[in-house]
Amino acid sequence: KSVLKTRWLAHQLVHLESVDSTNIWAKKHHHELQHGALVLAEEQTGGRGRLGRSWESSKGEGIWMTLVLEPGLPMHDAGKMTQLAAAAMHQAIVGVTGLPVKIKWPNDLLVGDHKICGILTEASGELTRIERLLVGIGVNVNQQAFSGEIAAVATSLRIMMEQPVSRVALLMLFLEIFEKCYDDYVLHQSYGAVLRVVREHSMLLNQPIDVIRGDQRVAARAVSIHEDGRLEVVYEDGQSELLAGGEVSVRRK
């Protein structure tokens, strides 16, 4: 904690050796966790992705964490927090490694075509207001190789840098940047810096993509990331649509 330079974020810190999923743990222990709490695990045995997918979280090699936030925002702003987390982690990884990281809307960070970080944001509360927001983030830091299903899609900072990367340094820098972005947005209604980062480093903008909903796959072009965090796409028949991250997947062609 001595190296932590945040004003309020992660002052409550739960460090677990092994857990099914830090998001699930945070949900189960919600009464013990205050705004700003950080739940961190060395290993997850049942790490989760979006839309029921799983997230591989090997022991000691990544940052597997959940931030507990009570932003008091309208429910439809949850997507903006995912973009905020992606922008903050982008800046942190670039700051520590200098790697050319891309943001694949809504929740992935990639180096080249390989995924280095995924974000799972879960909001609870009434229909209109976020009571609690869990921002789950997984970063592949020091894996030396991947096997099985994700071998073709995943990479780690260590693989890209060809040397180990400090998880602590990356985490500390991320927390400082995230706190600044969060305060700018939630306290000062200033979201422009986040939008600049996600737009400037977007992997999808102006690219042909497939929009995937269940079994359905429709060709489109990604044209902009809106101020509310949604992705605007234009289909081949000229119709456009604003997509929210929780509903769809997109794939670059």
- Catalog residues that contact ligand BT5 under the rule CB under 6 A: 21-23, 44, 47-51, 53, 55-57, 64-66, 107-108, 115, 118-120, 136-138, 140, 150, 153-154
Give whichever of 48 and 230 is closer to ligand BT5, judged by the CB atom.
48
Q: Please answer whether residues 118 and 57 qualify as being in contact, where contact means their C-beta atoms are separated by less than 8 angstroms.
A: no
Tokens in use for 27?
């949900």
- Least distance between ligand BT5 and beta carbon 139 (Å): 8
Give whichever of 77 and 108 is closer to ligand BT5, judged by the CB atom.
108
Residue nearest to ligand BT5 (CB): 118
Give whichever of 23 and 83 is closer to ligand BT5, judged by the CB atom.
23
d(Cα 197, Cα 133) in Å, to the nearest integer? 22
- Least distance between ligand BT5 and beta carbon 136 (Å): 3
Give whichever of 56 and 70 is closer to ligand BT5, judged by the CB atom.
56
Q: Please answer whether residues 140 and 89 qualify as being in contact, where contact means their C-beta atoms are separated by less than 8 angstroms.
A: no
Give whichever of 154 and 186 is closer to ligand BT5, judged by the CB atom.
154
- Least distance between ligand BT5 and beta carbon 123 (Å): 14
Q: Please answer whether residues 225 and 83 qualify as being in contact, where contact means their C-beta atoms are separated by less than 8 angstroms.
A: yes
- Least distance between ligand BT5 and beta carbon 117 (Å): 8
- Least distance between ligand BT5 and beta carbon 55 (Å): 4
Strand partners, 219: 210
d(Cα 253, Cα 33) in Å, to the nearest integer? 42
Give whichever of 50 and 80 is closer to ligand BT5, judged by the CB atom.
50
Q: Please answer whether residues 176 and 184 qualify as being in contact, where contact means their C-beta atoms are separated by less than 8 angstroms.
A: no
Cα within 13 Å of Cα(252), Cβ side: 17
Cα 232 to the center of its chain, rounded Å: 19
d(Cα 208, Cα 221) in Å, to the nearest integer? 4
- Least distance between ligand BT5 and beta carbon 147 (Å): 11
